[in-house]
Amino acid sequence: MTGTRPVLRVLLVEDSPVICGLITEIINDVPGVKVAESVESERDAIEAVGRLDVDVVILDLQLRKGTGFGVLRAMRDLPKKPVVVVLTNFALRSYRETAFALGARDFLDKSRDYDRLPAILTEIASSQPT
């Protein structure tokens, strides 16, 4: 790690304050990984991806305003795309296939996969250029 910038800066897109707090704790417990910002809507996520220098987006698919699929579609043409990890309660096969087709790296089910998040973030961090 150089300077004060963490290895990975994460944008968290989650509309539940309780879940957002839980995921933030999980992320911030991973060495060198920090939540840069959390947002609740598709529009705010698209704006934040354009404004922030984030390496990873943790993305819920069902948002109060908009969807994670809209965020994925908006990011397709970015010159520097952050890595996307979908974390959703709606782990349907069709959602999984669509998320991967739109560029998601991982697809996690909120009901059972929280414990996989630290290892995934560590793996992403280790593959980042220094």
Using pLDDT thresholds of 50, 70 and 90, give the confidence band for residue 130. low
The answer on pLDDT for 44 being more than 90 is yes
Query: What amino acid occupies position 2?
Result: T
| The dihedral formed by the CA atoms of 44, 22, 68 and 96, expressed in degrees to the nearest 10 | 170
- Is 90 exceeded by the pLDDT of residue 14? yes
Cα(103)–Cα(75) distance, integer angstroms: 9
For residues 84 and 5, give the distance between their C-alpha atoms in angstroms, rounded to a whole number: 20
Q: Quick one: which of 24, 19, 3, 10 has its CA closest to 125?
A: 10
Provide the mean pLDDT of the chain: 92
Share of the chain above pLDDT 90, in %: 84
> Does residue 50 carry a pLDDT above 70?
yes
pLDDT, residue 5, reads 47
Helical H segments across the chain, by residue range:
17-28, 42-51, 68-75, 93-101, 117-127
**Cα–Cα distance between 51 and 86 in angstroms, integer?**
20
Please report the pLDDT score of residue 18 as a whole number.
95
Q: What pLDDT shows up at residue 6?
A: 56
Domains and CATH numbers, the chain: 8-127 (3.40.50.2300)
Cα distance between residue 97 and residue 91, in whole Å: 10
User: In this predicted structure, what is the pLDDT of residue 23?
Assistant: 95
